[in-house]
Amino acid sequence: MSISFCCLAETFDPAREAQFLVDGPGVDGCVGQCAAVILLAGDDTRAEVLLAAGARQVLIGEAALLDSGIIERLVAKYGKERIGLAVPVRNLAVDWAFETVSNADFKVVTPSICEPTWEVLRADGSGTGTHAEWWIGQMVERGAHTVLLLADIENDSDLNLCAGLVEKLGAQLWVAPRTIKVPPLADWIAFGQVRQLALRPDLYQQRETWQCPANADEVIEEAS
């Protein structure tokens, strides 16, 4: 099993083999040298500036939530291979409601969702209530080529959600930690089925730790 790695950074470093660069003041001078530019905020005007400047690929974030047509417009103008998604997610909170109308003899407590679900987040980290798996599927149908999932995968439910997305998206999916400082990447690989990781520079430097094919097998044996 081979794991692919990309460095997710805010500043460009020519020594790195592959980079996803977060859009910022220093991006314009190196836009064509990285694998993709991540546009967490901003609109299609900024995306077009980056693409016209030679960006190989732009990963659209909040703008696609506010205007779902942005993906189709950019794909039509620049081609599917140059347009993707950056999707920060977290677990969708469960709300509980008492239902008393249908039977006056007892109360029924009903959850707002019946199974664990991720929600898509805005650029500022606030929730939207939008189910991530459904929304990602909609954007892929509209032409998004690459999906960068920014998630803190910390428990079995998260691992199952991740594995489901890997099964659906295959090589289109890259996964990156959203806020967690020490992500259990061996578990992500073994149980979340992650095959492509975008890591901040300090973790990217340690990528050989998770590259060994035997690593995932050792984790599975220890858990058995």
pLDDT tens per residue across span 137-189: 999 999 999 999 999 999 999 999 999 999 999 999 999 999 999 999 999 99
- Long-range pairs of 217-224 with CB within 8 A, sequence gap ≥ 24: 217/190, 219/186, 219/187, 219/189, 219/190, 219/191, 220/190, 223/190
Domains located in the chain, CATH noted: 4-91+117-223 (3.20.20.70)
pTM equals: 0.85
> Is residue 64 classed as helix, strand or coil in its secondary structure?
helix
Question: In the block, which residue shows the tokens 């500036």?
Answer: 49
- Provide, rounded to the nearest whole percent, the portion of the chain with pLDDT above 70: 84
What's CA 137's distance to the chain center, in Å? 13
CA atoms within a 13 Å half-sphere pointing along the CA-CB vector of 189: 26
The angle at the Cα of 31, spanning 123 to 12, to the nearest 5 degrees, equals: 80
The angle at the Cα of 7, spanning 217 to 147, to the nearest 5 degrees, equals: 80
Q: What are the residues facing 118 on neighbouring strands? A: 91
pLDDT tens digits, residue range 46-78? 999 999 999 999 999 999 999 989 999 999 999
- If we measure between CA atoms, which residue out of 183, 196, 191, 193 comes closest to residue 222? 191
Residue 222's pLDDT is 36
Residue 68's pLDDT is 82
Cβ 61 vs Cβ 41: under 8 Å: yes
